[in-house]
Structure 1
Amino acid sequence: MACRGVSHDDQPAVRRTRAFPGRGVSHVDADQAGVAHGVPSAQATAGAGTLDEPGGASHPQGALADAAGDGAASEPEPSDGGDDGGGRRRGLGSFLAELPILVVVAFVLALLLKTFIAQAFYIPSESMVPTLEVGDRVLVNKLAHEFRDPERGEIVVFTQEDGGPAAPSDGILERLQDTITSGFGVVPEGEKDFIKRIVGMPGETIEMRDGVVYIDGDPLPEDAIDDGGYLSEPDMVDFGPEEVPEGEYFMMGDNRPNSSDSRALLDTISEENLVGRAFVVIWPGSRLSTLEIPDYAADGFLSEPASPSAQGAEGGP
């Protein structure tokens, strides 16, 4: 009888048994056992790497694959949602632990935004009617004058103390402190925020006659403002002429008969006391609008005062 594979033993093939979990007793030929001990047989070599043969022929790889599959099937599968309650509790606990940090971060960001970038202001009086109504809320850009000089016609918020200009707070810590205290309703005694329009620039001569404002002798165009213009009365008290000091600005309310501004109580305002430029009405929603800077040049009026040399040349013989 011909021998199979590389086996030269005259003894009949020994049949061994091997137990596989969940499969009972499996009979493995000596040739198959040889594969397990590293001695390939012709039958094993012929079937290497073939896991799916026609007719269901068995080979060592198939036996090992079956064993591995049975072992995997015998392991318990994880339950679906068995620990959902504990997971939710851990998630809630983690959120509650992080909540104070989130609140602090949000507070710091809001504080920095309000101190250095933008702040909302409430309009309490009629001094800027018809441009701004009582109850309007405007957003003020605090960086507007960090990179350029103030312009004529801008609506600005500035600080002023009763009876004189407020001391400027240029330090970062001082500005942070002012923002924090004002947020809790605590402001320096006598110091107030005002909102007006810049009318006179440094070095200009301001005069008001019969309700008309004159800048260096030229009337300020009344139709330069698109959102309603100024309110004035012919019998208003005349003012000036008065020269605006260097580094300061002459402020007026659009409601000229009912505005306390640089004509009387407030005097001229130093650039250091400017908080920022009001650029948009954010509340109420029906009045949502931007606050544009009037284009006085389009009406033939110089937006900046003429230099002394230019004035001398113009008025010379």
Structure 2
Amino acid sequence: MSEFTPRSAKHGRRRRRGNDEAWEWVQALAVAVVLALIIRYFIFSPFSVSGPSMMSTLHNNDLVIVNKVLYMFRDPKPGEVIVFHATEEKDYIKRVIALPGQTVSAYNNVVRVNGESIEEPYIDEGNRTADFGPVKVPEGHVFVMGDNRMNSSDSRNPEVGPVPIDHVVGRADVIFWPLKDFQVLW
């Protein structure tokens, strides 16, 4: 005995299969978009460097990936490059120099934390640090400076001052653009 399936029934199954496949693609794309948004807004975020304050580590228009999760588990550490809310409209990128309760100063081109000079391999020779301080970093704050010390608006500037830790967006982890400057920052 042979089965006979009317032509319209075969056509209906193909159409249903096509609709099912289209629906699966829509679901897959929706999941991909949601995951991308979660990653973008809660885990990693691109940041565009604006200005010369972090030269020679970072240059104007470099794009970096900012890790937004790390500081949910620990506070920033000295030497880390962070992005923070400087104003409601503007984010800055600078390097952590001192932590809450520490005293920071500079004299004769040497930065000191609690009276001890710090190693700064990221500073180009000839890049000067103007004398300042001493400044005691308030609890719940970090003291930040740009790597281009003579051209940086940072914690030495009263308008910026020590940065509240709750204003820190995250740690800059990777320079990803331009490709010739690709580099891990920690």
TM-score when scaled to structure 1?
0.51
2:169 and 2:3 mapped to 1: Cα distance? 70
Question: How far off is 1:239 after superposition?
Answer: 1.2
| Alpha-carbon offset, residue 151 of structure 1 | 0.7
Q: How far did 1:95 drift?
A: 4.8
Larger radius of gyration: 1
Partner of 1:206: 104
Please point out which of 2, 24, 37 is paired with 1:111. 37
Q: 1:270 aligns with which of 140, 144, 164?
A: 164
**Structure with the higher strand share, 1 or 2:** 2
Higher relative contact order (CA 8 A, sep 6+): 2
Cα distance change of structure 1 residues 76 and 233 upon mapping to structure 2, 3 Å threshold: closer
Does residue 249 (structure 1) correspond to residue 145 (structure 2)? The answer is no
- Read off the aligned partner of 1:269 and give its amino acid letter: V
Shift of 1:104: 3.5
* 1:145 has 2:38 as partner: no
C-alpha contact (below 8 Å) 2:174/2:182 kept by paired residues = yes
Query: Is 1:128 matched up with 2:128?
Result: no
Q: Tell me which residue corresponds to 1:60.
A: none
Q: Which residue of 1 aligns with 2:93?
A: 195
The root-mean-square deviation of aligned C-alpha atoms, in Å, is 2.7
Q: Percent identity?
A: 40
Deviations 1:244-286 (A, max 9, x none): 0011100000111111100003100111111111111112222
The answer (yes or no) to whether the contact 2:99–2:137 under 8 Å persists in 1 is yes
Amino acid across the alignment from 1:217: G
Structure 1 unaligned spans of 5+: 1-71, 162-189, 293-317
CA distance in 1 between counterparts of 2:126 and 2:140 reads 28
Deviations 1:87-118 (A, max 9, x none): 77655544555555444433322221122211
Number of aligned positions between the proteins:
183
Q: For structure 2, which runs of at least 5 residues remain unmatched after alignment?
A: none
Identify if the C-alpha distance between structure 1 residues 232 and 215 changes in structure 2 by more than 3 Å, giving closer, same or farther: farther
CA contact (8 A) 2:49 2:61 kept: yes
CA, structure 1 residues 196+149, in 2 after alignment: closer, same or farther (shift >3 Å)?
same
Q: CA deviation at 1:158?
A: 0.8
